[in-house]
Amino acid sequence: MSSDEKRIALVTGASRGVGAGVATALRDAGWQVYGTSRRGTGPEGTVALEVDHADDEAVAAVFARIADETGRLDLLVNNVWASPPGFAGFTEKFYERPVSDWDSLIGIGLRAHYVAAVHAAQVMVPQGSGLIASTSSFGSRGHLHSVLYGIGKTGLDKMAFDMGHELEGTGVTAVSLWLGLIRTKLLLSSGLTEFAGFSVDKAEDPEFVGRVVAALADDPELPSLNGHTVVTAEYGAAHGLTNNDGTTVPDPHRAAFGGGPLFPPATD
What local confidence, expressed as pLDDT, does residue 44 receive? 96
- Say what the pLDDT of residue 260 is: 63
pLDDT of residue 19: 96
Stretches in the chain below the pLDDT threshold 50: 2-3
Position 267 scores a pLDDT of 61
CA 245 from centre of chain: 22
- Kindly report, residue by residue over 146-198, the tens digit of the pLDDT: 888 889 999 999 999 999 999 999 999 999 999 999 998 888 988 999 988 88
**β pairing state of 198-199 and 194-195:** antiparallel
Check 34, 95, 114, 149 and give the catalytic one.
Answer: 149
* Residue 149 designated active-site: yes
**pLDDT at residue 3, as a whole number:** 44
Q: What pTM, to 2 d.p., does this model score?
A: 0.94
Rg (CA), the chain: 17
- Close Cβ partners of 124 (under 8 Å, ≥ 6 residues apart): 73, 74, 130, 132, 170, 171, 172
Q: Name the nearest CA neighbour of 73 among 38, 108, 47.
A: 47
pLDDT at 255: 80
CA atoms within 13 A on the CB side of 225: 24
Phi, psi (deg, nearest 5) at residue 136: -115, -155
Q: Domain spanning 8-257 has what CATH number?
A: 3.40.50.720
- Which pLDDT score, from 0 to 100, does residue 263 have? 76
